[in-house]
Amino acid sequence: MKKLLFVIHTLEGGGAEKVLVNLVNNLPREKYKITVAGVFDGGVNKRFLKDDIEHIFLFKKVFRGNVILFKYLPPEKVYKKLVGERHFDIVISYLEGTTARIVSGCRDRQTKKICWIHRELDEAFYKGCFKSKEEADCVYASFDRIVCVANGLINNFCSFNGLYEKTVCLYNVNETAEIIKKSKESADEAFLSDNVVKICFIGKIIRNKGVLRLLRAHEILCEKNIPHRFILIGKGPLERKLASMLKEKGIEKDFVFAGYQTNPYRLLSRCDIFALPSYFEGFSTATTEALILGLPCVVTECSGMSELLGENNEYGIVAKSEDEFYSALEKMVTDKKFREHYAQKAKIRGEKFSMKETLKAHEKLFDELTEATDETETN
């Protein structure tokens, strides 16, 4: 049995945190003993970890300025503080940045190291998490494998460091059967009760997710007197600003803030369209889940979207501009046959990202790395 350690900032409600829980919950226990380490304890996803998964952490609560602190602390000391003298066969930084820097501090020569990349990186990101570009290059070069969650992320990541030979793509693990099962749970919210076309968004209410674009799309549809309803699932710092802007414009009706949901699928499955006008993504978990549930998708062009929906919009609409996003969304709302066509395509595409296939790919990577270690020890 191989010992795996997954290191993440916290188990809060983000996409990476969610797919990490999906992954560790479903890895075979006869092959792996699993520990999840948080820089900080807690988070809404912690409750979903299975009981046989060990959870450890450095600090009980998140504190302000922690990213700056970890930027300057010696990685070896932080890693040792986290795990002590324990040996793991593979240590995985499940996020880029702070956790990558911490895991690079592992000095056990028998341990293989992997770093996951969930998003497009830029110079500002590197400056925020590392003391210098040179340090970032050294940190990532110390890993045995780099995993990008979309093929489109590989060029972005490797353009900074040239680590093409170490970098692979693995799609996120989604609990397909569980998503479908949870989608059938009751949902008696009033905003679901009528037959108006419902457009669902899932994600943090932040600028990078394009929530102001949703407001503009709503405004355009209202101006054209096209019946519709936006349902936003999630929380975030822009929620109050959005609500205020909607009220000022007099269009707050049919723009619903549904808040964070432990089971978003019961709401998502009762909507007609999924919309995600993000500026940045890695490989959108929410879009993948919408496909699994057969929702026609309208998204903006960013990492992973063409891999999900096709290079030529075969399985959904990937808008190349804001105007194209608004036009595609309007057509999806007003043209029932168009909507039904993409609902069928979504169901077909959703099968590609089944848990069975994606989990098998993860196991293959872990086994190849540990087998290489075993061969080295034998020789």
Whole-number Cα distances in Å, 124 to 48, 90, 120, 121, 330? 33, 29, 11, 8, 35
Cα(65)–Cα(336) distance, integer angstroms: 50
Query: Mean pLDDT over residues 218-227, rounded?
Result: 97
Q: Which two tokens stand for residue 214?
A: 């949703």
Cα(314)–Cα(329) distance, integer angstroms: 16
Torsion of CA 25, 30, 33, 34, to 10 degrees: -10
62-90 pLDDT, tens digit each: 999 998 999 999 999 999 999 999 999 99
Grade residue 377 by pLDDT with cuts at 50, 70 and 90: low
Query: Mean pLDDT over residues 109-125, rounded?
Result: 91
More confident call, 343 vs 125 = 343
> What is residue 57's predicted lDDT score, i.e. its pLDDT?
95
279-304 pLDDT, tens digit each: 988 888 899 999 999 999 999 998 88
Query: Mean pLDDT over residues 256-268, rounded?
Result: 95
Grade residue 374 by pLDDT with cuts at 50, 70 and 90: low
> What is residue 304's predicted lDDT score, i.e. its pLDDT?
86
Query: Mean pLDDT over residues 261-278, rounded?
Result: 96
> What is residue 353's predicted lDDT score, i.e. its pLDDT?
81
| Closest to 350 (Cα-Cα) out of 181, 176, 185 | 176
232-243 pLDDT, tens digit each: 999 999 999 999
Q: Which residue has the tokens 């009760």?
A: 193
Q: Which two tokens stand for residue 89?
A: 């066969």
What pTM value is reported for the model? 0.81
The pLDDT mean for the chain works out to 93
pLDDT at 375 over 80: no
Q: Which two tokens stand for residue 349?
A: 């595409």
Q: Which helix (H) or strand (E) segment is 3 a member of?
A: strand 2-8
> What is residue 311's predicted lDDT score, i.e. its pLDDT?
92
Residue 317 sits at φ, ψ, to 5 deg, of -100, 120
